[in-house]
Amino acid sequence: MHTFIVKTMSGLEPVLSAELSAIGAQGVRELKRAVAFEGDTHMMYRANYELRTALRILKKLTSFPAFNERNLYGGIRDIDWSQYLGPGDTLAIDAVTSGTVFTHSHYVAQLVKDAIVDQFRDKYNRRPTVNTVAPTLRVSIHIQGTTVIVLLDSSGDSLHRRNYRKDTVEAPMNEVLAAGMILHSGWDANSAFADPMCGSGTIPIEAAMLAKKIPPQYFREKFGFFRWPDFDTALWNQIKSGADAQICDIDFPILASDKELRARNSTVVNLMASGLERVVTVDRVPFEKLLPPAPSGLLMMNPPYDERLMVEDTIAFYQGIADRLKQCWTGWNAWVISSNRDALKHFGLRPSRRITLFNGALECSFQRFDLYEGSKNITETD
């Protein structure tokens, strides 16, 4: 058994933790923008392939105390790196530091790199070179005060890169955030779903993949652990085919719509890349005119915030959204994410839940509105 740290985005720790428990991970515990678990290689492969809200999965190698640079250099040199890397291979170091002893993560990464390559030079008279894009081994160093934790990045490229997004329009959402919002919403993945401001289609594509049980990394060709010397091809093939065998058909509508032709086209390109063009219906209709595709379901919306995408009169624009929700979407649950708290305050609907999430650097409120007929919620918020 090894300890693993799964990195995620702020606010997604509870859904990631639930995802890990669902695939049978042991000792699951939430950290800041990460969740830890205990597991073996089997669980590491499953976690990489099946977790929708993971960004990277790091395997803990060791930890040691370091009170100065000499201790750090020595601790890294004490690890036998030839178990993980050859002298002709490539390597990248990521470092995160907190506390007062080591304050420059860039400098820490440099020192760790020196310790590793010096070991190879002494042993083989040759040394691995640095490649930050596609290295044989990506090493992650976390320093908390005087504790150095050495981890290996099993994912390689960040897991938000699902490999289906071939085209984007302005302000595309990170795929991990979209999946996290859907999981936070409690959608049963078995009833109608609509994104009326779909942009490049990230939210409805993630919804369709969840509903059809398509593993989030189904379209990815490589993981970091493929380059590890202990890569177990048979085990990997068994895990991949087990997860792929779960893929199923669905018989309820998933609707993506946007008022812009460019957004509609971009969504179609991405749907074709994911083979979901028959699963998600794409419309080019302004929300003010869009009709629900079913009497009830879940609507999820990422409207412009007036930050990266500008809106003329933001408060009136958001009030228009709320009016349309009240008039035409009764029977639905609506979830809206926005960094524009002022506009959400004047929305005209009372949220039944609020979750703080980050869209890039923007702190956002992700709010749920229950649209019952003649609803008590349809009152002005303070």
Measured from the CB of residue 368, what is the shortest distance to ligand SAM in angstroms?
Answer: 17
What is the C-alpha to C-alpha distance for residues 203 and 210, in angstroms, rounded to an integer? Answer: 11
Among 6, 197, 211, 299, binds ligand SAM (CB under 6 A): 197
Position 297 contacts ligand SAM (CB under 6 A): no
Among 39, 156, 180, 199, binds ligand SAM (CB under 6 A): 199
Task: Name the DSSP class of 289.
Answer: G
What is the C-alpha to C-alpha distance for residues 217 and 308, in angstroms, rounded to an integer? Answer: 29
The DSSP bridge partners found for residue 367 are 336, 354
Among 309, 315, 328, 362, binds ligand SAM (CB under 6 A): 309
Measured from the CB of residue 172, what is the shortest distance to ligand SAM in angstroms?
Answer: 4
Among 13, 258, 283, 306, binds ligand SAM (CB under 6 A): 258
Among 87, 172, 293, 331, binds ligand SAM (CB under 6 A): 172
Measured from the CB atom, is 75 or 304 closer to ligand SAM?
A: 304
Binding segment for ligand SAM among 52-60, 151-159, 253-261, 275-283 (CB under 6 A)? 253-261
Among 161, 259, 326, 346, binds ligand SAM (CB under 6 A): 259
- Interaction mask 23-62, ligand SAM, x per CB under 6 A: ----------------------------------------
C-beta of residue 163 within 8 angstroms of C-beta of residue 49: no
C-beta of residue 112 within 8 angstroms of C-beta of residue 130: no
Measured from the CB of residue 86, what is the shortest distance to ligand SAM in angstroms?
Answer: 41
Give 276-282 contacts, CB < 8 A, sequence gap 24+: 276/205, 276/208, 276/209, 276/212, 279/208, 279/212, 279/250, 279/254, 280/201, 280/204, 280/205, 280/208, 280/254, 280/255, 280/256, 281/253, 281/254, 281/255, 281/256, 282/198, 282/201, 282/256, 282/257
C-beta of residue 356 within 8 angstroms of C-beta of residue 365: yes
Among 304, 333, 344, 366, binds ligand SAM (CB under 6 A): 304
Token pair for 237: 């093939």
* Binding region for ligand SAM (CB under 6 A): 169, 171-173, 196-200, 202-203, 258-260, 263, 286-288, 302-304, 309
